[in-house]
Amino acid sequence: MRLCIVDDSEGFRTYLESLLRAAGHDDITTYAQAEDALAGLTRPDALPTDLILMDLLMPGMGGLAGIRRVKATPALADIPIIVVTVSADAENLAEAFAAGAMDYLRKPPRRAELLARVDSALRFKQAIDERKARERELESEKAYIAAILEYSHDGIAVAGRDGRFTFVSPGMERVFGLPADLYTTTDRWLDMVFPDPAVRRDLTDIMASRPAPGHVWRRIYPFADRNGQRRTCQIHFSTMPSGDLIINIEDATLFEKQKEDLLKKQNRHQKDLDAAAEIQQSLLPRRFSMSDSLKFAWEFMPCDNIGGDIFNVFPLGPNHVGLYMLDVSGHGVASSLVALSVYHFMHYQRSTLIDRAEGHIDVVPPETVLERLDEEFPFDKFSKFFTIFYMTIDLRSGYARYGNAGHPAPLHITATGTITPLPRRGTIIGLSGFGAFPAGELTLAPGDKILSVSDGLADSCNRNGEYFGEERVFSAVRQYATAPVGALLPALREAARKFCRDTPPRDDVSMLGVEFLRPKSPPPPAPTSTNPVKACRRPLLSMRMHQ
Amino acid sequence: MQLAHKETDQALVLSFSGEIIMDAVADLKTEAERLTIESPQTVVRLDLAGVTFMDSSGVGFLIGLRRICQEHGKTMTVTNPSPPIKKLLGMLRLTDYFAVQANPADPASA
């Protein structure tokens, strides 16, 4: 610690300094007059001093005036002063103590007494310094907390057990728009800002019951600001150990409005999705038989977020049937609109599927249909691609021709239960002629079935994240391979449902099966050649010309 | 889906992991396209070693990225597809379209 000796006797200064240094006090400054000491101690670069040993009888202002000046200087006032004097005059000493000296020693001081008095004064100074530091710390904390309460946008209030507010922060005024000092009691506050009687009742209950210390209750309430505008606040209630209730209020009007807007948007989107799903499902085949020669069945399990699956079975002139299944990439309204667009492009009366010449109806070969689709639906157009399996069947002979653009291979299931995936397959639709679409052909015998399923079936998951997978699809098909198509598809759907249970499909699941029953009987002889149906050229021959 | 990238002497390598599905594509499409366009490299290699599942949105994302490469005079290849991804690309007949390769560092695949 730093000591200061003020004495006009150089010899005594040296003596005193030597005693103190010998006792371990090595930071000592000395002055010959009180004026010099005051000038030195108040210099801007002066280090703080912890004790002054002051002579009383000195030239200049003298020790007594020096003591008064030290005590009158705020930066020095806390420094303890020990008077060291030859004078034992009681009046002088009384004046010195009145001026602020804390102790005195007679010259020449005895070493032990000097050191004991010095140590005692230094301990006193240390205690003063620590107390002052703590006071400054507390003041700083207090100012910081006051600034938080002043500038926090949230309102904070504390209510005693009698319902009187013991504290109301300026934030309350910002939230409710009324001067904070209006809220003297919780009842008055409730009456002024919460016009809804049910809200007031609820809040009154909370004020009375109060959460246990350590617990927080959160509520959202409507309130009226000073202009009567309806707003929303979120309130957190917690209780202090003393039982006082802390009420923390946040203006949640904007947040509630955003939530409300978001919900409205979500409802609108959901309605759009529902409408799109309804349209998608209205396009699926309605009948299950088309003639004595062919029966078909289908199953459709839509995903929540509408997919892009569509399939159809339709007549192509008097002797042919066409069937397709397509899956547009992605989910949502965009995918379903592309599917709808392809559905219209694939309408059985359009030139996509039938070439009309003079007096002829030519069934367009599937591979040519796929090329036309690839030209019409490039990926760039909608940022979508699709897979499609398309097949035509001549009902008179069972001759079937197909094209497959990246779709899972359909299965040919014979009447005896032999299962063969249809092997020919090209790339997806949308790559603008990148790959060819090879044609496949086969002849169906009575009892043979064709089964096409979308990849959504194999990709269905159970709650453990396991895929239903192709093996399980094959296994279910094998089990019902000889069953009629009307029994095979429901069995497949049931197998998937048992595996996935309550886990909804991530993608649309579509299944389409056709069963060739028997060749179509030839029509009776025509009385004239002007009937357009009877004037059809034999489609099979026409198709072969396209090969 | 997670996306990491690095530039080698010859190529920009975009490494994907996890599931490339609709929601994940929406999150990372812009970043992958930005990296592709801003890279000085003329070869963009998509490393799919860590991809466990890819739906049709994921395939659409790869097609879109390949288109962007074409527009900027770059070539795109797909490397290290895991067996299910390789099977999917095979089923869609996209193996040639994406110039799918096994690990280029593997001498057996050279």
Q: What residues of A are in contact with residue B97 (Cβ under 8 Å)?
A: 427, 431, 434-435
> What pLDDT is recorded for position B63?
95
How far off is chain B from A265, nearest CA to CA, in Å?
19
Q: Measure CB to CB from residue A427 to each of B55, B60, B97 and give the nearest one.
A: B97
Using DSSP, state whether A129 is helix, strand or coil. Answer: helix
Q: Is the pLDDT of residue B20 over 70?
A: yes
pLDDT digits (tens, 9 = 90+) for B23-48: 888 888 999 999 999 999 999 999 99
Select from A428, A429, A460, A466 the residue whose CB has the most chain B CBs within 10 Å, as the one to mutate to test that interface: A428
Contact between A493 and A504 (Cβ < 8 Å): no
- Indicate the pLDDT class of residue A401, thresholds 50, 70 and 90: very high
Closest CA to A396 of A424, A363, A368, A422: A363
Query: Is residue B110 over pLDDT 50?
Result: no
pTM score, whole prediction: 0.64
Say which of A385, A426, A435 has its CB closest to residue B63: A385
Chain B nearest C-alpha distance from A141 (Å): 45
Closest B-chain CA to A404: B92
Q: Which residue has the tokens 């947040």?
A: A255
pLDDT in tens, B45-102: 999 999 998 989 999 999 999 999 999 999 999 999 999 899 999 999 999 999 998 7
The letter for the amino acid at A100 is: G
Residue of A326, A385, A452, A460 to mutate, interface with B, max B Cβ within 10 Å: A385
> Looking at the complex, does the CB of residue A434 fall below 8 Å from at least one CB of chain B?
yes
Greater model confidence, A545 or A90: A90
- Taking contacts as CB-CB distances below 8 angstroms, the residues of chain B near A327 are 56
Selected residue of B23, B67, B92 to mutate for chain A interface (largest A Cβ count, 10 A):
B92
Cβ atoms of A145 and A235 closer than 8 Å: no
Q: Which helix (H) or strand (E) holds A158?
A: strand A155-159
Predicted confidence (pLDDT) per residue in A216-240, tens digit? 999 999 999 888 889 999 999 999 9
> CB contact, 8 Å: A118 with chain B?
no
Per-residue pLDDT, A119 = 94
The terminus-to-terminus CA distance of chain A in angstroms comes to: 110
Whether residue A543 is predicted with pLDDT greater than 50 in this model: the reply is no
Domains and CATH numbers, chain A: 2-143 (3.40.50.2300), 152-251 (3.30.450.20), 283-520 (3.60.40.10)
Q: What's the mean pLDDT when you consider all of chain A?
A: 88
* Residue A109 pLDDT: 87
Query: What count of other Cβ atoms lies within 10 Å of the Cβ of residue A76?
Result: 19
What is the arithmetic mean of pLDDT over A247-265? 92
From the list B14, B82, B85, B4, the residue with the least C-alpha distance to B44 is B14
Mutate which: B93, B95, B96, vs A, most A CBs within 10 A: B93
A367 part of contact set with chain B, CB < 8 Å: no
Mean pLDDT of A512-541: 62
Binary contact (B57, A330; C-beta < 8 A): yes
Contact A428 B94 (CB under 8 A): yes
* Confidence at A524, pLDDT banded by 50, 70, 90: low
pLDDT of residue A521: 80
What the block records as the tokens of B15 is 């490494």
Nearest CB among A330, A331, A435 relative to B93 is that of A435
Question: A506–B92: do the CB atoms touch at under 8 Å?
Answer: no
Length of chain B: 110
Q: What DSSP string runs through A18-42? A: HHHHHTT--EEEEESSHHHHHHHHT
**How many angstroms separate the CA atoms of A207 and A522, rounded?**
90
Tens digit of each residue's pLDDT (9 = 90 or more) over A282-318: 888 876 666 789 999 999 888 877 878 999 999 888 8
Q: How far is CA A210 from CA A159, A167, A248, A446, B80, in A?
A: 11, 17, 14, 80, 62
- Chain B contact for A506 (CB, 8 A cutoff): yes
Q: What is the pLDDT of residue A182?
A: 81
Q: How confident is the model at residue A399 (pLDDT cuts 50, 70, 90)?
A: very high
Cβ atoms of A293 and A484 closer than 8 Å = no
Residue closest to A108 by CA, chosen among A53, A32, A30, A33: A53
pLDDT of A22 > 90? The answer is yes
CA distance A195 to A367: 73
Question: Could you report the predicted ipTM of this complex, rounded to two decimals?
Answer: 0.87
- pLDDT > 70: what percent of chain A? 94
List of chain A residues whose C-beta atoms are within 8 Å of the C-beta of residue B59? 329, 385, 428
- A-chain CB neighbours of B92 within 8 Å are 387, 406, 427-428
pLDDT surpassing 80 at residue A533: no
Give the largest Cα separation in chain B, rounded.
36
Contacts of A204 (CB under 8 A, 6+ apart): A187, A190
Mean pLDDT across A395-419: 96
DSSP helix/strand/coil, A185: strand
Identity of the residue numbered A434: F
Q: How far apart are alpha carbons A117 and A82 in whole angstroms?
A: 8
Nearest CA-CA distance, residue B64 and chain A, Å: 7
Q: Cα Rg for chain A, rounded, in angstroms? A: 50
Q: Which CATH superfamily is domain B2-109 in?
A: STAS domain (3.30.750.24)
Is A171 near chain B, with CB under 8 Å?
A: no
**Chain B contact set for A383 (CB, 8 A):** 60, 64
Instruction: Give me the pLDDT at residue A289, please.
Output: 67
Domain borders along chain B are 2-109
A532 inside 8 A of chain B by CB:
no
Residues of B with CB under 8 A from a CB of A: 22, 55-57, 59-60, 63-64, 67, 91-94, 96-97
Q: Residue B94's closest chain A neighbor by CA? A: A427
**3-state DSSP call for residue B40?**
coil
**Residues A37-93: pLDDT tens digits?**
999 999 999 999 999 999 988 999 999 999 999 999 999 999 999 999 887 778 888
pLDDT at A132 over 60: yes
